[in-house]
Amino acid sequence: MENVYELSHVSKTYKSEGKAVDALKDISLSIQEGEIFGIIGMSGAGKSTLVRTLNRLEKINAGTVSFYGNDLAKLKRSELRKVRRSISMIFQGFNLLQQRTVIENVEQPLRIAGIRRKERREIAREMLRFVGLEEKEDVYPARLSGGQKQRVAIARALAADPKVLLCDEATSALDPKITGEILELLKKINQEKKLTIVIITHEMSVVEKICDRVAIIDDGNLAEIGKVSDVFSKPTSKAAKKLVYPTNPFDASGTDGRLIRVVFDGTSANRPFISDLVEETGKKVNILSANTKSVGGIGYGQMVLELPKDAKDQEIVIDFFQSNGLTVTEVEQA
């Protein structure tokens, strides 16, 4: 599979109040054609800076950002403009023109490109049909809901016939139900239009629902990268664990209590592991947290358990879960 983007040792430094601030620190990663790639991090981690390097809205201080093998920093102005026509972007704030109707907003990139009115109107209507808003073409943005505004923004992005769609916190302003609908639309775009999609978010639930791979950015560093299912099942960095581990509603019964996280997928979800544990080993555990979720279309579950006090009993419990094909990791207590 061809790489759309190849980032090699990318660094970006800002000047703030006379001090140097490292927004990106030696980032190296690739984004493959046709995938939905997530970039996640907490506020201020550097993820939005990173996505803006992908269309060279941000110039980097070191390293290279290549788009289909072309170093963006070495392109002439005319060449960069051509590349940017292949890269569309949608934002949290929608960025619609309030004085223009829905269809006029969708036509905007085509108008800038010099496409004749009849042709751009046909393309705009096709895009509005695709996002399910054909009946809203003569409405002004002020009369639309947040979800409808984002659909218009997506239709406008698609009208330019891009190769890549960059989504910078595109669902952050939406409620959970509408967020789910927008994510399903993005998945449809990826599958039917074969677009590479890059999603910037601070919400792991967004990544788990739609992305193929994910990069976790922490304080300007690439903390972890991999398939979403792998990062969910076996996170290795502190930043990844903070994002995927459940927030425990209860603490261990004592300061010396030992906690583990057990992960299972849909193929093992129907087995009563806790009762089997007691029946087969005679050992009991305290369930502190449990939930299930869809990761890449597959149902996953996770439990945080407090182990028995005795060290030998602890190993018996861990061996039981591992021998039954479940992923077990230690949970550090605060």
Could you tell me the pLDDT band of residue 250, with boundaries at 50, 70 and 90? Answer: low
Could you tell me the pLDDT band of residue 125, with boundaries at 50, 70 and 90? Answer: very high
Nearest to 144 by CA among 91, 88, 94, 92: 94
Tokens representing 20 are 């140097």
pLDDT for the residue 169 = 86
In terms of C-beta density within 10 A (0-12 exposed, 13-18 middle, 19 or more buried), how is residue 135 classed?
exposed
Task: Give the pLDDT mean for 294-309.
Answer: 84
pLDDT for the residue 10 = 96
Could you tell me the pLDDT band of residue 246, with boundaries at 50, 70 and 90? Answer: confident
Those residues with Cβ within 8 angstroms of residue 147's Cβ, 6 or more apart along the chain or in another chain: 174, 178, 181, 182
Those residues with Cβ within 8 angstroms of residue 317's Cβ, 6 or more apart along the chain or in another chain: 260, 277, 281, 283, 285, 305, 307, 308
Question: Are 36 and 207 within 8 A, CB to CB?
Answer: no
Q: φ, ψ for residue 322 (rounded to 5)?
A: -65, -40
Tokens representing 310 are 């005795």
Q: Is the pLDDT of residue 163 over 90?
A: yes
Question: Are 284 and 278 within 8 A, CB to CB?
Answer: yes
Nearest to 240 by CA among 164, 329, 122: 329
Q: In this structure, which amino acid lies at residue 97?
A: L
Q: Is the pLDDT of residue 297 over 70?
A: yes
Q: Considering the entire predicted model, what is its pTM? A: 0.88
Distance CA 153, CA 224 (A): 31
232 or 93: whose pLDDT is higher? 232
Instruction: Name residue 272's beta-bridge partners.
Output: none
Q: How far is CA 3 from the centre of its chain?
A: 18
Q: Tens of pLDDT along 85-118?
A: 899 998 887 888 899 999 999 999 999 888 899 9
Give me the domains of the chain, ranges plus CATH numbers: 3-235 (3.40.50.300), 245-331 (3.30.70.260)
Q: In this structure, which amino acid lies at residue 132?
A: G
Those residues with Cβ within 8 angstroms of residue 155's Cβ, 6 or more apart along the chain or in another chain: 106, 124, 127, 128, 130, 131, 133
Of the listed ranges 13-22, 55-64, 68-77, 306-315, the one predicted with least confidence: 13-22
Distance CA 44, CA 309 (A): 41
For all residues of the chain together, what is the average pLDDT? 89
Nearest to 157 by CA among 201, 189, 180: 189
- Strand ranges in 17-154 using DSSP code E only, listed in sequence order: 19-32, 36-40, 62-67, 70-71, 87-91
pLDDT for the residue 50 = 93
Strand 164-168 vs strand 87-91: parallel, antiparallel, or unpaired?
parallel
